[in-house]
């Protein structure tokens, strides 16, 4: 059993990763509920072992300071987060804490009179918090929450939101900061996706992430096309304004100034009515044209709010009651089995399309054989489907009252649907496997991952080509990527001389990828990009990693015992060692880049993200990227709103267009040289 300190470290690392996915990439990997569970576990452990609390623990702050590509705005009044209640008991416990605190005076004496509190309930809008500053009634600045202290300046983008007045009604004070939520309404989201589909473009996954992406566009004219909306719900700094006595009065004043305030506000003196109200909101959530993920309950009286104050993270006078993830029913058309790159056979449901949790769902995982049995879902059933955030949807249960008479229980197939070999379920394990290492589905999965952007990043080696090469027997494992029979490929339809040459060049260049990329590409269980980079920078080369003991692996800061054991075991399996030997023969780089201080170049590109496209005369593309990385920058394969600059050589193509669309500066080779030398971007 791991000690609390190891688990705390592991939890902090995980939460850090998910924070990054959520806040920086706008691409959460796990549902909010799972994230909250991690945070809850960490809080509980820290409460039990207060000595292990550190100032930079995720429990002590609102969110990580993201890498700003927008100008920074320091909030004059910090933008706090809210604590959550996941069920009615937690909600009630919060109200009792509030009442107890109010009943206890400074000397710890309980007062004779029980305190009376008016509670205000608002919807918890599922969007992004922004703070909008008006001076003399005019909108002068808008900022995201960021880490709560410092946010990003998104003034130009917020100005494009129709709901947000550029000028307040008469009587506005010299300074007023309005806090609220920017969101994308459901009909606006659907219209946007319909337009994307009509244009043959990729559709967006859910309204929240789309709103986030839209607000952080470099080019405000793009934001303007997104039909974002806004609800105001709080004040930040106010200079010489009226002094409302309660939250309800604040909301009335905001509305009077011309700001949009949602009408579903309710106030109660009896907390039982608050509980009844959240239940009613839950029932009615589908009637709204925007997504909510809860109800925010606030103490109405502002003097009382002040006396309750804040914890490090959140106000004591408010709580977010989180609604359980949305559920919908639909028809289970069939149960199929997919084979993962590691051979795992996962049953999944084919569903009649249903809109749930903000997107249309047509398939949902059923996890494993036991889950199908436990849930007793059968092809033909009407089933309840749930989706939290934008994660993989889940089939919860059948609606038995609707079950047709003749439905047979589903049985797990005995043969792999891809290769026909037996499917095996090891004793005591929940998962079933296809153990055929050469199963085409597994081979494809391994190679697809190896060539993917986060791993060896081999351009032109996407899913379709992998399918083709494996299907034609040209490729049967990842090492084979480096000994492709290009003459044969050149004979195929659709492969001109140039495309074969490009492929050859892309494969050759990928040999030089840093060791961390290679390690990630190998799909060692538990080794994601962060762990892969950690292994590479700690062991410096494959030889040393191969000979590392479990203890040496565990000694690496950031590696828990589970990961250490997994890496160690993977490196002992003969077919993996054989694969590594073949990668070595193929001339793949097995060394981490040097960090000898004498060789160290100045980190002039720290925090920058520089994308390279087209053909440069002085550098190969990969060489240019290596120069960027060596100077502390990042060099992703595609242009996004977060890109600092695009270096464009001859024939820039789609990346160039994208950069122009997003207003990302485009550099020629001469400007690139200057950038490498001193980190300077041209004016």
- Is the dihedral angle over the CA atoms 105, 110, 113, 118 positive or is it negative? positive
CB of 536 to ligand IVH, least distance (A): 37
Beta bridge partners of 175: 135, 239
Cβ-based burial of 220 (10 A; exposed 0-12, middle 13-18, buried ≥19) = middle
- Smaller CB distance to ligand IVH: residue 142 or 628? 142
In this chain, which of 66, 315, 516, 652 binds ligand IVH, going by CB under 6 A?
315
Strands (E), 261-417: 266-268, 292-299, 318-322, 326-339, 344-356, 359-365, 382-387, 394-398
Select the span of 313-321, 442-450, 537-545, 641-649 touching ligand IVH (CB under 6 A). Answer: 313-321
CB of 145 to ligand IVH, least distance (A): 6
* Cα-based torsion angle of the residue sequence 537, 543, 549, 554 in order, rounded to the nearest 10 degrees: 10
> Cα(56)–Cα(399) distance, rounded to whole angstroms?
47
Measured from the CB of residue 318, what is the shortest distance to ligand IVH in angstroms? 5
d(CA 483, CA 478): 10
Q: How far is CA 133 from CA 152, 244, 552, 602, in A?
A: 13, 18, 54, 39
When asked if residue 122 is in the footprint of ligand IVH (CB under 6 A), the reply is: yes
Q: Point out which span in 48-56, 124-132, 372-380, 522-530 binds ligand IVH (CB under 6 A).
A: 124-132
- Contact call for residue 441 and ligand IVH (CB under 6 A): no
The C-alpha atoms of residue 283 and residue 436 are separated, in whole angstroms, by 49
> Which residue, 155 or 234, has its beta carbon nearer to ligand IVH?
234
The interface region with ligand IVH, picked from 79-87, 197-205, 235-243, 612-620 by CB under 6 A, is 79-87
Question: Which of the following is catalytic: 124, 322, 642, 655?
Answer: 124
Residue 515 CA to residue 535 CA, distance in Å, equals 9
Query: Which residue's CB is nearer to ligand IVH, number 315 or number 398?
Result: 315
Smallest distance from the beta carbon of 125 to ligand IVH, in angstroms?
A: 4
Nearest distance, CB of residue 358 and ligand IVH, angstroms: 15
16, 64 Cβ separation under 8 angstroms: yes
- CA dihedral sign, ordered 103, 106, 109, 113: negative
Cβ proximity to ligand IVH: between 120 and 335 the closer is 120
Strands 292-299 and 266-268, sheet pairing: unpaired
Q: What is the rounded CA–CA span in Å between residue 316 and residue 303?
A: 13
124 lines the binding site for ligand IVH (CB under 6 A): yes
Count of residues of this chain found to bind ligand IVH when the rule CB under 6 A is applied: 15
Tokens of 540: 């410096």
Q: Which stretch binds ligand IVH (CB under 6 A): 123-131, 335-343, 414-422, 465-473?
A: 123-131
Is there binding between residue 143 and ligand IVH (CB under 6 A)? no
Of 312-320, 473-481, 536-544, 613-621, the window that binds ligand IVH (rule: CB under 6 A) is: 312-320
**Closer Cβ to ligand IVH, 293 or 622, answer by number:** 293
Q: Does 82 bind ligand IVH (CB under 6 A)?
A: yes
DSSP state of 482: G
Which residue is at the shortest CB distance from ligand IVH? 129
- In angstroms and rounded to an integer, the radius of gyration of the C-alpha atoms of the chain is 28
Question: Quick one: 281 or 608, whose CB is closer to ligand IVH?
Answer: 281
Cβ of residue 313: shortest distance to ligand IVH, in angstroms?
A: 10
Q: How far is CA 557 from the centre of its chain?
A: 24
- Residues numbered 212 to 241 that lie near ligand IVH (CB under 6 A) are 233-234
Tell me if 465 contacts ligand IVH by CB under 6 A: no
What span, in angstroms and rounded, lies between the C-alpha atoms of 442 and 420? Answer: 13
Using the contact rule CB under 6 A, the part of the chain among 77-85, 323-331, 495-503, 587-595 near ligand IVH is 77-85
Please name which of 269, 252, 249, 270 lies closest in space to residue 261, comparing C-alpha atoms: 252
Residues in CB range of 159: below 8 A, 6 or more apart: 139, 142, 166, 220
Closest-CA residue to 590 (of 483, 456, 462, 459): 456
Only one of the segments 27-35, 315-323, 451-459, 643-651 lies at the binding site for ligand IVH (rule: CB under 6 A); that segment is 315-323
Helix boundaries (H) for 49-174: 88-103, 155-158
Question: Smallest distance from the beta carbon of 230 to ligand IVH, in angstroms?
Answer: 11
Provide the H-helix boundaries in 165-231: 186-198, 207-215, 220-224
State yes or no: residue 181 binds ligand IVH (CB under 6 A): yes
291 lies in the binding site for ligand IVH (CB under 6 A): no
The distance of closest approach from Cβ of residue 64 to ligand IVH in the complex, given in angstroms and rounded to an integer, is 15
Rounded to a whole number of angstroms, the minimum distance from the CB of residue 17 to ligand IVH is 20
Our CA angle for 156, 196, 330, nearest 5°, is 115
The C-alpha atoms of residue 632 and residue 603 are separated, in whole angstroms, by 5
Is residue 267 a contact point for ligand IVH (CB under 6 A)? no
In the complex, what is the shortest distance from the CB of residue 294 to ligand IVH, in angstroms, rounded to a whole number?
8
Q: How far is the CB of 128 from ligand IVH (least distance, A)?
A: 6
Considering only residues 81, 252, 338, 537, which one is a binding residue for ligand IVH as defined by CB under 6 A? 81
Edge-to-edge strands of the sheet including 138-144? 138-144, 128-135, 175-184, 228-239
Please identify, using beta-carbon distances, which residue of 248 and 474 lies nearer to ligand IVH: 248
Stretch touching ligand IVH by CB under 6 A, among 51-59, 121-129, 150-158, 645-653: 121-129
Q: Among residues 182, 274, 318, 369, which is the contact residue for ligand IVH, using CB under 6 A?
A: 318
Q: CB-based burial of residue 260 (10 Å sphere; 0-12 exposed, 13-18 middle, 19+ buried)?
A: middle
Among 80, 216, 449, 465, binds ligand IVH (CB under 6 A): 80
Distance separating alpha carbons of residues 234 and 179, to the nearest angstrom: 5
Nearer to ligand IVH by Cβ, of 10 and 326: the residue is 326
Residue 218 bears catalytic tag: no
Catalytically active residues, by annotation: 124
Residues that bind ligand IVH (CB under 6 A): 80-82, 122, 124-125, 129, 145, 181, 233-234, 296, 315, 318, 320
């Amino acid at each position: 059993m791991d000690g609390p300190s190891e688990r705390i470290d592991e939890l902090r690392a995980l939460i850090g990763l998910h924070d990054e996915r959520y806040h920086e990439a706008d691409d959460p990997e796990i549902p909010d509920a799972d994230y909250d569970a991690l945070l809850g576990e960490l809080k509980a452990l820290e409460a039990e072992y207060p000595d292990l609390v550190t100032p930079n623990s995720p429990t002590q702050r609102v969110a990580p300071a993201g890498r700003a590509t927008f100008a920074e705005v320091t909030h004059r009044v910090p933008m706090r987060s809210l604590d959550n209640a996941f069920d009615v008991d937690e909600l009630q416990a919060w109200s009792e804490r509030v009442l107890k605190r109010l009943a206890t005076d400074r000397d710890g004496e309980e007062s004779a009179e029980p305190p009376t509190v008016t509670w205000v309930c608002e919807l918890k809008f599922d969007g992004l918090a922004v703070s909008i500053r008006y001076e003399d009634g005019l909108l002068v600045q808008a900022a995201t929450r960021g880490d709560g202290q410092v946010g990003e300046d998104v003034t130009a983008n917020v100005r494009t939101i129709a709901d947000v007045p550029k000028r307040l009604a008469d009587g506005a004070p010299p300074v007023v900061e309005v806090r609220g939520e920017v969101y994308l309404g459901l009909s606006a989201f659907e219209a946007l996706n319909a337009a994307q589909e009509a244009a043959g473009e990729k559709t967006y996954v859910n309204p929240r992430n789309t709103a986030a992406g839209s607000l952080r566009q470099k080019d405000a004219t793009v934001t303007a096309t997104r039909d974002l909306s806004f609800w105001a719900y709080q004040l930040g700094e106010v200079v010489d304004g009226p002094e409302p006595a309660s939250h309800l009065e604040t909301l009335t004043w905001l509305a009077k100034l011309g700001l949009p305030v949602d009408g579903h506000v309710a106030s109660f003196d009896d907390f039982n009515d608050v509980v009844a109200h959240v239940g009613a909101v839950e029932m009615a959530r589908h009637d709204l044209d925007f997504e909510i993920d809860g109800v925010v309950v606030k103490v109405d009286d502002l003097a009382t709010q002040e006396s309750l104050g804040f914890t490090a993270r959140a106000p004591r006078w408010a709580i977010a009651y989180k609604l359980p993830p949305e559920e919908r029913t639909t028809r289970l058309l069939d149960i199929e089995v997919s084979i993962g790159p590691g051979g795992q056979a996962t049953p999944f449901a084919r569903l009649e399309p249903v809109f749930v949790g903000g997107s249309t769902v047509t398939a949902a995982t059923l996890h494993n054989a036991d889950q199908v049995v436990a849930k007793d879902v059968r092809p033909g059933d009407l089933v309840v489907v749930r989706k939290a955030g934008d994660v993989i949807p889940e089939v919860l249960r059948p609606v038995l009252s609707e079950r047709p008479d003749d439905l047979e229980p589903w049985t797990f197939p005995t043969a792999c649907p891809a290769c026909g070999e037996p499917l095996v379920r090891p004793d005591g394990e929940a998962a079933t496997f296809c153990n055929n290492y050469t199963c085409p589905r597994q081979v494809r999965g391994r190679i697809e991952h190896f060539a993917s952007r986060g791993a060896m990043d081999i351009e032109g080696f996407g899913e379709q080509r992998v399918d083709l090469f494996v299907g034609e027997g040209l490729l049967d494992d990842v090492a084979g990527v480096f000994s492709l029979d290009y003459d044969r490929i050149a004979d195929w339809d659709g492969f001109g001389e140039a495309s074969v040459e490009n492929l050859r060049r892309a494969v050759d260049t990928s040999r030089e990828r840093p060791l961390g990329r290679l390690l990630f590409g190998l799909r060692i269980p538990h080794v994601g990009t962060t762990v892969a980079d950690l292994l590479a920078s700690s062991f410096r080369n494959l030889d040393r990693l191969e000979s590392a003991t479990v203890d040496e692996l565990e000694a690496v800061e950031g590696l828990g015992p589970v990961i250490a054991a997994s890496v160690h075991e993977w490196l002992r399996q003969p077919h993996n060692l054989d694969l590594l030997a073949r990668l070595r023969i193929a001339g793949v780089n097995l060394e981490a880049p040097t960090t000898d201080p004498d060789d160290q170049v100045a980190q002039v590109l720290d925090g920058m993200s520089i994308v390279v496209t087209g053909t440069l005369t002085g550098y190969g593309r990969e060489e240019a990227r290596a120069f960027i990385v060596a100077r502390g920058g990042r060099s992703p394969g595609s242009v996004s709103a977060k890109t600092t600059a695009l270096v464009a050589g001859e024939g820039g193509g789609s990346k160039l267009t994208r950069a122009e669309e997003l207003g990302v500066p485009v550099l020629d080779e001469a400007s690139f040289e200057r950038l490498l030398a001193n980190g300077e971007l041209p004016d």
